[in-house]
Structure 1
Amino acid sequence: MPEFTGAVVVGVDGTDSAVAAARWAGALAHRHEVPLRIVHAMPTIGRNLTESAAAIRAAVMSYQQDTAEIILKDAAAAVQSDHPGLEVTTTSLTTPVDEAMVEISRDCRAIVLGGDDVAPVEALLLGSTTLSVASRAVCPVIAWRGGATAPSVQPVVVGVDGSRAADSALGAAFEFADLFRVPLRAVYAWSTRLPSGGVTIPLLIDWDAVEAAQWTQLTEAVDHWAKRYPGVDATCFLERSKPGKAIIDHSADTQLIVVGTRGRNAVASTMLGSTSLNLLHHSAVPVMVCHGADHSR
């Protein structure tokens, strides 16, 4: 898993859910003993304006800046009420929030985004801030969900599939579980369904051996991180199911889902049916999306 340092960054938009996400991010920053940076992106004003429209541009921009300051001030006050000693900075942006967050992700520990539901059709046709940032950011991106304003004592669930991205997710999940002293559930989903066009005869496959091999891959991956975080109570689950469904099934009483993604750009990560998109759409708890160690900075 790549090592990430720097502040925790959270995006806010003035809604109550965004303030709650900021408080959650503040709790994460407090436990990591790093600063929290609160970011608000102002709506973009068109550049090719008519003469009459351009005349009021300055007034509109001034109003937006005043509004941004209020939004940032309110979010910062809520966080500092929870954690008086936490260093909190605020930033207003005039660039698209997803582009800004991707750039910010190069130098921060994690990005938290709240209040941005990802519906499958929207993700395919229009995209979303969360999806755009999660697919391209360098650091882990947490899509805040639910009403929690701080991590709890509930378990963390992480998806494992043997990929580099999943290993990064597993490392991030162990780090979180160790940080907040909570249990961890590692879920590995596999299927007896054969690839279309294959010539393998199902009756000749030793499915018990296949399952045993999958279990070995899961436990070895978990053991690797358990040695680094020996205080974490980790449990392994091997499920014959689709990855997204298996993880959701194990997340009913958890506080965070952690998953790896191999997508390197917005298009690659907006395919319907992908595990990350499925979780972003269906999860009732925050979802942390991580990239593999080879994801470029």
Structure 2
Amino acid sequence: MSSWNRTGPVVVEVDGSAENLRVIDYASAEALRVGAELVLVASYSAHSPSAPATPGYAPKTPAELADAALRTAVAHVRHRDGYATELLAVAEEGSRLRVLAHAARNARMLVVARSPKRGPQRLVHTQADLTLAARAGCPVVVVPLSWRPSLLDRKVAVGIDGTPLSSEALEFAFGQAAGREGVLVVVHAGLPAERPFADEDPECSWISRADYLLSESLDPWTSRFPTVKVTRFLSSRPPAAALVHESAEVGLVVVGSHGGPLPIDPVARRSVAAMTCPVAIVPHHVTGTGRTAGRVKSAVPTH
């Protein structure tokens, strides 16, 4: 059984924008809640184009801009939390993917901002976040730029489909719900592809099988996290639609995603792009056993 509830730092991306400060607030609150170090990371390219030179003005280099963004972020966290949180600020040259994945290699989570773009452009950015989660090897929490603390933060939702893809997501979701002393909503959605037997009522048959699947999936975690109150939510909607609907009622949604160098996961991609709350992408690393189990037909298709 793998462990996604790690004891490492909380790592957050810093990009220097005013909106990014809310993402830093989320990461800072998470680090403070669990007593973890907060690592602020800014990536930059040494080959970024410089602003046109004007008399008496020397444009800052990309490295200087990254350092300035980090100083602003550190001051913001200190103003918010004082010295209750241990801080580390890192500026590193390289691509966003490489720098963040390297910084988060021992992290309990990596926190990034959701793209403000809409439509296909947001889907492209979301695919980059899925790839980042696979490369980083830890959960990546994507935070909307409109995020603010609320009472809903105590509620966590997780989507499961009964395949090994759900195992790490379930463990992370239970750990988050336990740490928040809140409620975990377990979402199972999508009608099965196979047809019921002739003497079965289609709806009752699906509900019975879905309930059995949930019981089998939850048993290891309910015994490990006995204080977490679990609510089951069955929906005939497509999985992505059910998760997006639930995101309006919780403070965090957890989704499992395929690992590998280029994870292809349409359900996770559509879910993350449309969420109205922070969403944790938990990568599933396939083992030899997992490859075999993954071939078993599931009640909820994930790709």
TM-score clears 0.5: yes
**What is the letter of the counterpart of residue 2 of structure 1?**
S
Shift in CA distance, 282/212, structure 1 to aligned 2, threshold 3 Å: same
Amino acid at match of 2:115: D
Residue 244 of structure 1 corresponds to 240
Over residues 261-293 of structure 1, what are the superposed CA-to-partner deviations in whole Å (9 max), with x where a residue is unaligned? 124223x33x6xx11111121111111000225
**Amino acid in structure 2 at the alignment position of 1:68:** A
1:94 alignment counterpart: 93
Distance change >3 Å, CA 73–CA 46, structure 1 → 2: closer
1:178 aligns with 2:178: yes
Contact 1:28 1:151 in 2 (8 A): no
CA-CA distance at 1:251 after TM superposition: 2.0
TM-score, length-scaled by structure 2 = 0.80
Tell me if structure 2 keeps the 8 A contact 1:118–1:130.
no
Correspondence for 2:68: 70
Q: CA deviation at 1:150?
A: 4.5
- 1:288 matched residue in structure 2: 280
Cα distance between partner residues in 2 of 1:265 and 1:224: 30
Which residue is equivalent to 2:249? Answer: 253
* Equivalent residue number for residue 169 of structure 2: 169
Look up the equivalent residue of 1:290 and give its one-letter code.
V
Contact preservation (8 Å) 2:259, 2:284:
no
Q: Does 1:213 align with 2:205?
A: no
Name which of structure 1's ranges 31-40 and 74-83 shifts more when overlaid on structure 2: 74-83
State the alpha-carbon separation in 1 of the partners of residues 70 and 124 from structure 2: 31
Once residues 122 and 130 of structure 2 are traced to their aligned partners in structure 1, the CA distance between those partners, rounded to angstroms, is: 7
Q: Which residue of 2 aligns with 1:50?
A: none
> Structure 2 matches for 1:1-297, cutoff 5 A?
1-3=2-4, 4-45=6-47, 63-84=61-82, 85-117=84-116, 121-122=120-121, 129-150=128-149, 152=151, 153-194=153-194, 204=198, 206=200, 207=202, 208-266=204-262, 268-269=263-264, 274-292=266-284, 294=286
Relative distance call for 1:236 and 1:128 in structure 2 (3 A) is closer
Distance in 1, Cα, partners of 2:125 & 2:114: 17
Measure, in 1, the Cα distance between the counterparts of 2:71 and 2:48: 27
Structure 2 CA distance for aligned equivalents of residues 219 and 234 of structure 1: 11
Q: State the Cα distance separating 1:246 from its structure 2 match.
A: 1.1
Q: 1:136 to 1:16 in 2, by over 3 A?
A: same
Secondary structure of the residue that 1:45 maps to in structure 2?
coil
Alignment-derived partner of residue 198 in structure 1: none
- The 3 A distance-change label for structure 1 pair 146 and 231 is farther
- Contact 1:135-1:263 at 8 Å conserved across structures: yes
Q: Is the 8 A contact 1:18 1:115 kept in 2?
A: no
Q: TM-score, normalised by structure 1?
A: 0.82
- Aligned-partner residue type, residue 18 of structure 1: N
Aligned AA for 2:10?
V
Aligned identity (percent) is 24
- What SS does the aligned partner of 1:259 have? strand
Root mean square deviation, CA, Å: 2.8
Q: Secondary structure at the match of 1:291?
A: strand
> What is the distance in 2 between the residues matched to 1:203 and 1:220?
22
Paired letter, 1:160: I
Partner Cα distance (1:210, 1:127) in 2: 32
Shift, 1:6, TM fit: 1.4
Paired residue secondary structure (1:279): helix
Point out 4+ residue stretches in structure 1 off by more than 6 angstroms. 123-127
Change (3 A) 1:73 1:125: closer
Report the alpha carbon displacement of residue 124 of structure 1 after superposing the two structures with TM: 6.8
* Whole-angstrom CA distance in 2 between matches of 1:102 and 1:238: 35
Aligned length: 275
**Change over 3 Å in CA distance of 1:34–1:159 after alignment to 2:** same
Deviations 1:191-249 (A, max 9, x none): 1445xxxxxx6663733334312211112322321222222121011111211111112
- Structure 1: runs of 5+ lacking an equivalent: 48-52, 54-58, 195-200
The residue identity in structure 2 corresponding to 1:17 is E
